[in-house]
């Protein structure tokens, strides 16, 4: 197994490891330590079945079943299909997943520990693979905050919500409305703006454009510009890792440590098919 860090403050690549085979404890520990340090890891060349992706993902914890049940892989509810492919005129998965900066499941009281996305088909045009995914480090964002701003943020609590984002995304009606029962599973939740990573204790700036819609007890006219300032700070170009996909990449990211955004620069007939597993959160800090 070979490890190469990216030149950004986050991200690493692992080659020479076949995740279809059982991973021994010592190797797993190396992966986990690297993951806690770099926030994003790509394992190249993984030709995994659904069962193998689920088995490796479970090494990190229990798996979430996504609220958008219409986008789950038939027979494998642990796998969320992220794809622009239509079958019989209908989307086979979330066609517009994550095209805004976000941290998966930050709208849960106990946000997801990590997500693992396996590239099964990637869109390619003119010798270039499209559909990149950008990552930004929330730890680097915390570390580089102006000290006065950090002190101001210390007591603040942010409100995160899934239905807020779902409605924005569904303006064109492509996703179908969430049922009342689905909505009940995702009420708004509150997280401190400055959090500690629940496993490593590392400080992070935990607000994201996708799901953070307000600050508790702060008037919208004050909260919105402040939130925008934080979103811009987190996603400054020097804080980014840009992932260029290859078929067989299994990319995993820590949802406390990083945020991400999918770039939609392709359309059918160029196809993109990804399978995502999402690991449940560990107990809150
Ligand atoms: C996601 O946010 O889970 C999807 C990211 C991607 O499709 O690149």
Q: Residue 157 is part of a domain; what is its CATH number?
A: 3.60.130.10
* Pair of tokens at residue 221: 């006219």
Residue 201 belongs to a domain:
yes
**pLDDT at residue 171 in the model:** 62
Burial of 155 (0-12, 13-18, 19+ CB in 10 A): exposed
Distances from the Cα of 265 to the Cα of 104, 116, 131, 161, 271, angstroms: 21, 22, 6, 27, 11
- What is the mean pLDDT for each group of 10 consecutive residues in the chain (285 residues)? 96 98 96 98 98 98 90 96 94 88 89 96 96 97 98 97 74 64 82 96 96 96 98 95 98 97 96 97 69
Residue 254 belongs to a domain:
yes
* Pair of tokens at residue 191: 């997280």
Look-up of token digits 């239509």: 86
Which protein residue's CA is at the shortest distance from atom 6 of ligand 1? 262
Which protein residue's CA is at the shortest distance from atom 7 of ligand 1? 262
Residue 55 belongs to a domain:
yes
- Would you tell me how many other CB atoms lie within 10 Å of the CB of residue 268? 11
**pLDDT at residue 173 in the model:** 59
Which protein residue's CA is at the shortest distance from atom 5 of ligand 1? 262
Residue 285 belongs to a domain:
no
**pLDDT at residue 282 in the model:** 81
Report yes or no: 239 and 137 within 8 Å, Cβ to Cβ: yes
Q: Look at residue 78 and give its three-state secondary structure.
A: strand
Q: Which residues does a 6 A CB cutoff place in the pocket of ligand 1? A: 82, 97-98, 104, 115, 117, 133, 260, 262, 274, 276
C-alpha of residue 223 to centroid of ligand 1, in Å: 27
Which protein residue's CA is at the shortest distance from atom 1 of ligand 1? 98
Residue 61 belongs to a domain:
yes
Task: Indicate the number of domains in the chain.
Answer: 1
Q: What pTM, to 2 d.p., does this model score?
A: 0.91
Q: In terms of residue numbers, what domain contains 28?
A: 2-279
Nearest atom in ligand 1 to 263's CA: 8
């Amino acid at each position: 197994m070979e490890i190469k860090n990216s030149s950004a403050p986050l991200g690493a690549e692992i080659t020479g490891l076949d995740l279809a085979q059982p991973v021994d404890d010592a190797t797993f520990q190396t992966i986990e330590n690297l993951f806690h340090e770099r926030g994003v890891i790509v394992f190249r060349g993984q030709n995994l079945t659904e069962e193998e992706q689920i088995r490796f993902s479970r090494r990190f914890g229990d798996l979430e079943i996504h609220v958008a049940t219409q986008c789950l892989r038939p027979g494998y509810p642990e796998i969320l299909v992220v794809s622009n492919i239509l079958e019989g005129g209908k989307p086979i998965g979330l066609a517009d997943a994550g095209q805004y900066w976000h941290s998966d499941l930050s709208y849960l009281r106990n946000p997801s520990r990590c997500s693992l996305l396996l590239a099964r088909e990637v869109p390619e045009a003119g010798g270039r693979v499209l559909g990149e995914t950008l990552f930004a480090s929330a730890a680097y964002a915390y570390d580089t905050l102006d000290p006065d701003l950090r002190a101001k943020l210390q007591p603040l609590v942010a409100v995160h919500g899934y239905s807020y984002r779902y409605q924005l995304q569904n303006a064109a009606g492509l996703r179908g409305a969430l049922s009342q029962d689905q909505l009940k599973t995702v009420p708004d939740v509150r997280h401190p703006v400055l959090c500690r990573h629940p496993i490593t204790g590392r400080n992070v700036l935990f607000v994201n454009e996708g799901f953070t819609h307000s600050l508790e007890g702060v008037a919208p006219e004050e909260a919105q510009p402040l939130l925008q300032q934080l979103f811009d700070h987190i996603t400054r170009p020097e804080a980014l890792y840009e992932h260029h996909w290859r078929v067989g990449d299994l990319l995993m990211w820590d949802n406390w440590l990083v945020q991400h955004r999918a770039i939609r620069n392709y359309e059918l007939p160029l196809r993109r098919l990804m399978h995502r597993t999402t690991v449940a959160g560990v107990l809150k800090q």
